[in-house]
């Protein structure tokens, strides 16, 4: 066979319309109708969807060299520049190696105290019976944590400003992606100007973080110092101011919005499943006995870990991973032409009944007995895989588990009735229009 099956395409094709109307539903229906490798056309783009774990492994690992990031994610270039998420080739590899030491397991363990401490302090500000918008709360918390652990900066005063700007950019990205406007637009439309203003607001925060460190001249040995003081091994040059800005912006944004989204969905799921919540509560009592969680407790907080894993399965913040072929290659036994955009729709793969029993149910205990080891490697990949795998994987899992434990041991959160919350595929899978929850102190 030379070409995979798929919905017939043309600009106003059924595929483009379905994608525009309901991106997640489109991903889920294509695998049902056409199978593991799906080819379609949307506007000027040749788009493939790959669902089989083996084909995803080819895309992200074995044939990774045949692909670059997709035009969809490249829409983030005005915001993230040439930072780690978007850079390519030798340049990317050099920057990745530079940042890597800040994410080594031992280093990450050292961040645990800040993570649990900030979470406890944050939740202490919630009054019994109060209604909080949980997603905004999680954004503020994870932002403060990434600022403190990686940049030794206090960004607590910027939470509102940064969240507002991030929301504008998320919506702008979502609208462009849905309408397949993937090329950079120079025309100063109102939405474009709004996005530019939002980027300037975030720039101000990032520049302040960098300027404070430069002014102190100190080498604190954290990620920011590594980036500021890094020198090229060959010619001794330092990173340009623009590159430094791009790296800090990338880590600042990638390092908090994803984890905040993951936690938001976790609270949403827990609130609807009292038996899971009760089991989590029992574990927290047994393991912690009322004291604050610490990194040393993590090996015994197994159920909490499974709750996080299961939430990342059902609502993966990175709901799909996109690439574009830079040369002719092959996937799932089919020849792929250069320029083809290939998407691994994490959302749909994580809900595939071939890999997960009762795939739409929130059942943390499915992760017991090492399910992760029994699954094909790419049946579950919330952090991607291969060379471009999330650099913050261990950071995020530890942070999410510690925040879950620190918050759940102090309060119960219930959904304010009458809300319709929709997973919305912007840059990450946001709960829209937010998540209003009532606090009951334990």
Region of 120-128, 176-184, 347-355, 392-400 interacting with ligand HEM (CB under 6 A): 392-400
Sign for the CA dihedral angle at 433, 410, 114, 311 comes to negative
> Residue 34 in contact with residue 5, Cβ under 8 Å?
yes
Bridge partners (DSSP) listed for residue 325: 67
The reply on whether position 268 binds ligand HEM by CB under 6 A is: no
> Residue 61 in contact with residue 385, Cβ under 8 Å?
yes
Q: Which of 143, 163, 243, 259 binds ligand HEM (CB under 6 A)?
A: 259
Region of 41-49, 202-210, 391-399, 410-418 interacting with ligand HEM (CB under 6 A): 391-399
The reply on whether position 391 binds ligand HEM by CB under 6 A is: yes
Q: How far is CA 297 from CA 277, 307, 330, 365, in A?
A: 19, 16, 45, 19
112-127 burial, b if ≥16 CB within 10 A, otherwise e? bebbbbbbbebbeebe
Residue for token pair 């100190």: 218
Question: Cβ contacts of residue 66 below 8 Å, gap of 6+?
Answer: 325, 326, 327, 329, 336
Region of 38-46, 74-82, 288-296, 378-386 interacting with ligand HEM (CB under 6 A): 378-386
The nearest distance, CB 141 to ligand HEM, in angstroms, is 13
Question: Cβ contacts of residue 17 below 8 Å, gap of 6+?
Answer: none
Q: Which of 15, 31, 123, 146 binds ligand HEM (CB under 6 A)?
A: 146
The reply on whether position 382 binds ligand HEM by CB under 6 A is: yes
Measured distance CA(261)–CA(83) in Å, rounded: 22
SS3 313: helix
> Residue 340 in contact with residue 46, Cβ under 8 Å?
yes
SS3 185: coil
Q: Which of 7, 9, 255, 425 binds ligand HEM (CB under 6 A)?
A: 255
Number of chain positions touching ligand HEM (CB under 6 A): 24
The nearest distance, CB 312 to ligand HEM, in angstroms, is 6
The reply on whether position 84 binds ligand HEM by CB under 6 A is: yes
The nearest distance, CB 218 to ligand HEM, in angstroms, is 21
Q: Which of 56, 168, 301, 318 binds ligand HEM (CB under 6 A)?
A: 318
The reply on whether position 74 binds ligand HEM by CB under 6 A is: no
Bridge partners (DSSP) listed for residue 342: 48, 323
Q: What is the per-residue binding string for ligand HEM in 213-252, x denoting contact by CB under 6 A?
A: -------------------------------------xx-
Q: Could you list the residues that contact ligand HEM (CB under 6 A)?
A: 69, 84-85, 96, 146, 250-251, 254-255, 258-259, 262, 317-318, 321, 382-384, 388, 390-392, 395-396
């Amino acid at each position: 066979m030379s070409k995979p099956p798929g919905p017939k395409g043309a600009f106003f094709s059924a595929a483009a319309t379905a994608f525009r109307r309901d991106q997640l539903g489109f991903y889920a229906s294509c695998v049902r109708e056409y199978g593991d490798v799906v080819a379609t056309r949307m506007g000027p783009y040749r788009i493939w969807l790959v669902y089989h774990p083996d084909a995803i492994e080819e895309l992200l690992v074995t044939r990774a060299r045949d692909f670059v990031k997709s035009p969809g994610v490249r829409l983030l270039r005005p915001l993230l520049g040439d930072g780690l998420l978007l850079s390519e080739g030798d340049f990317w590899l050099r920057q990745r190696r530079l940042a890597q030491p800040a994410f080594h397991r031992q280093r990450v363990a050292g961040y645990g105290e800040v993570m649990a401490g900030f979470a406890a302090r944050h939740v202490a500000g919630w009054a019994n019976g109060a209604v909080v918008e949980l997603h905004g709360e999680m954004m503020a918390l994870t932002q403060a944590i990434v600022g403190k652990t990686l940049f030794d900066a206090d960004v607590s005063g910027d939470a509102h400003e940064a969240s507002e700007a991030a929301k504008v950019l998320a919506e702008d990205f979502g609208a462009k992606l849905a309408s397949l406007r993937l090329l950079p637009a120079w025309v100063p439309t109102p939405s474009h100007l709004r996005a530019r203003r939002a980027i300037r607001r975030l720039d101000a925060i990032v520049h302040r973080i960098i300027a404070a460190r430069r002014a102190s001249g100190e080498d604190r040995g954290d990620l920011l110092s590594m980036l500021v003081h890094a020198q090229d091994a060959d010619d001794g040059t330092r990173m340009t101011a623009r590159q430094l800005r791009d790296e800090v912006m990338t880590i600042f944004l990638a390092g908090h919005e994803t984890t905040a989204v993951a936690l938001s969905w976790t609270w949403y799921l827990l609130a609807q499943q009292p038996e899971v919540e009760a089991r989590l509560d029992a574990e927290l009592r047994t393991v912690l006995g009322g004291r604050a969680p610490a990194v040393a407790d993590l090996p015994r907080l197994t159920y909490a870990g499974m709750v996080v894993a299961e939430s990342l399965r059902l609502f993966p913040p990175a709901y799909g991973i996109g690439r574009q072929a830079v040369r002719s290659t092959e996937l799932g036994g089919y020849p792929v032409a250069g320029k083809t955009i290939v998407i691994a729709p994490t959302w749909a793969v994580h809900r595939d009944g071939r890999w997960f029993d009762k795939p739409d149910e929130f059942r943390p205990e499915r992760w017991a007995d090492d399910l992760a080891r029994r699954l094909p490697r790419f049946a579950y990949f919330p952090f991607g895989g291969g060379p471009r795998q999330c650099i913050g994987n261990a950071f995020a899992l530890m942070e999410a588990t510690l925040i879950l434990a620190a918050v759940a041991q102090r309060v119960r959160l219930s959904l304010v009735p009458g809300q319709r919350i929709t997973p919305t595929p912007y840059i990450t899978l946001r709960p829209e229009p937010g998540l209003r929850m009532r606090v009951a102190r334990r």
